[in-house]
Amino acid sequence: MSRGPKTVAVIGLQWGDEGKGKIVDLLSGRADVVVRYQGGNNAGHTLVVDGRQTVMHLVPSGALHAQAVCVIGGGVVIDPTVLLQEVDELRARGLLAGAGSLLVSQEAHIILPYHKAIDQARERKRGKGMIGTTGRGIGPAYEDKSARTGLRMADLSRPEHFTKRLREILADKNDYLHAMLAEERLDFEAMIRELLDCGRRLAPMIVDTSSFLDAAIRAGKTVLFEGAQGALLDVDHGTYPFVTSSNTGSGAVANGAGVAPRQLRRVVGISKAYTTRVGSGPFPTELNDALGERLRKEGGEYGATTGRPRRCGWFDAMVVRKSVRLSGVDAIALTKLDVLTGIDPLRLCVGYRLAGQAIEGIPALADDYEAVEPVYEELAGWSESITAATSVEQLPAAARRYVARLEELVGVPVGILSTGPGRDQTMMLSDPFDFSS
């Protein structure tokens, strides 16, 4: 057995909703600790176990496994009401039962009611130019973090101090809401009452999660880092400004969880066998036709957080290749291959053209990316159902060829292959928690 940290990160390689919840749940069976490290309740991670569906927004997707300690790191922005509601629902099912089964970083910033109000009012004001945010206050909360006007879990643990700071900040926020966005002012008394109530309930969970994780990793525990959103929604490397407000690649694990970069050993990148996007922004391989509608219907492509229909299109190797490079992905978890059954021919995007010229990479300017034309390669489809396949050998030859070509194009192997939403509909071709090599 080789020495070194037993840590794995699972990250999205497209525009989110790649199936992170399913894969994290699956891998959590062998994890001692499962950690969310960025984003907030803009995430919607779906787990299907024995036919029962659970959607996680803030609590790590390891929560269905009793042995796994769930951690919410300092890079996450937390809406306390949403977190407690999720905890209550899980506890009612006998999950997250013991003290210490969920730990929340004292450094995590709090999403406050004015963050949501500002997020939603700005979107209304943008009209057709809207980003299509989830309206959960994510952007304004991260803005306050950078502007050094945010409130953190550590503040919430001190009611008197928190009350004083919130009163000061809310006065400013109300002026902004009223003068700039023509919104109603928010009431301080109701807000503080609810927040302090949440603070009392959360207090036992609020700890120094960074030190906890360091000790766990040094003790040889297996730790799974659960990404939210996807690489193309990254605030630096995504399709700016049509992005979320956090870093979503493996680079964010260190800052968001509070561990050293070299404490992350392995990176699993998740991709659908096609592409989806929810919200506005460029999407070169989008299908605005019956085929797009078919993918939406067969794939159940409706947002797990907002219920919005997801935009659907062909697999884009240009997108996934960039994400693989940025995050140092070791292996791909390829999901939803079953959804492509019955579509013939299939297409893979292998390059881009802009103004008639072949281009390398993804243009930085959204307007340019919007104007890009995808270059496609056609492959034969298959018609046999693959949802019960348990090995690659059982897949139709055309499905094997599709996966092999996709691997070639993105430059890393498929290590996990998913052919349905259930835990058992998964082929583990190489185990990310096997550190023997």
Cβ proximity to Mg ion, 102 vs 304, nearer residue: 304
Shortest distance in whole angstroms from residue 43 CB to ligand GDP: 6
For 155, list phi and psi in degrees, rounded to 5: -65, -40
Distance of CA 212 to the CA centre of its chain: 23
Give, in order, the Cα–Cα distances in Å from 253 to each of 9, 26, 335. 8, 20, 23
Residue 335 interacts with ligand GDP (CB under 6 A): yes or no: yes
Query: Rounded distance, CA 309 to CA 79, Å?
Result: 24
Using rule CB under 6 A, residue 269 touches ligand GDP: no
- List of residues contacting ligand IMO (CB under 6 A): 12, 15-17, 42-45, 131-134, 136, 138-139, 228-230, 233, 244-245, 278-279, 304
Which listed residue (6, 22, 115, 237) binds ligand GDP by CB under 6 A?
22
Tokens of 409: 């194009």
Q: 147 vs 141, 151, 238, CA distance in Å?
A: 10, 11, 22
Is position 418 an interface residue for ligand GDP (rule: CB under 6 A)?
A: yes
Answer yes or no whether residue 419 interacts with ligand GDP by CB under 6 A: yes
Contact between 304 and Mg ion per CB under 5 A: yes
Helical segments of 258-396, H only: 290-298, 317-327, 366-371
User: Rounded to 5 degrees, what are φ and ψ at 267?
Assistant: -125, 120
* Chosen residue from 34, 233, 267, 304 binding ligand GDP by CB under 6 A: 304
Pick the catalytic residue from 25, 32, 45, 234.
Answer: 45
Residue 45: active-site member: yes
Residue 403 engages ligand GDP in binding (rule: CB under 6 A): no
Q: Partners of 33 in the beta sheet?
A: 69, 223
DSSP state of 203: G
N residues, the chain: 437
Q: Find the shortest distance in angstroms from Cβ 296 to ligand GDP.
A: 12
Please identify, using beta-carbon distances, which residue of 17 and 107 lies nearer to Mg ion: 17
Q: Which does 256 bind (CB under 5 to 8 A by kind): Mg ion, ligand IMO, ligand GDP, none?
A: none
* H or E segment and range at residue 277: strand 275-277
Q: Which residues contact 152 (CB under 8 A, 6 or more apart)?
A: 106, 107, 108, 109, 110
Smallest distance from the beta carbon of 340 to ligand GDP, in angstroms? Answer: 10
Residue 248 interacts, among Mg ion, ligand GDP, ligand IMO, none and using kind-specific CB cut-offs from 5 to 8 Å, with none
SS3 percent helix, strand, coil of the chain, rounded to 5, is 40, 20, 40
Query: What minimum distance in Å lies between the beta carbon of 392 and ligand GDP?
Result: 14
Position 73 contacts Mg ion (CB under 5 A) = no
Instruction: Tell me, yes or no, if 178 is annotated catalytic.
Output: no
Q: Which is nearer to ligand GDP, 78 or 206 (CB)?
A: 78
CB of 304 to Mg ion, least distance (A): 4
Q: Which of 13, 103, 268, 339 touches ligand GDP by CB under 6 A?
A: 339
Indicate the residue among 44 and 421 with the shorter CB distance to ligand IMO: 44
Four-point Cα dihedral 129, 133, 137, 139, nearest 10 = -70
Rounded distance between C-alpha atoms, residue 188 and residue 181, angstroms:
19
In the complex, which residues of this chain contact Mg ion (CB under 5 A)?
17, 44, 304
Please identify every residue annotated as catalytic.
17, 45
In the complex, which residues of this chain contact ligand GDP (CB under 6 A)?
12, 16-22, 44-46, 48, 300, 304, 335-336, 338-339, 418-421
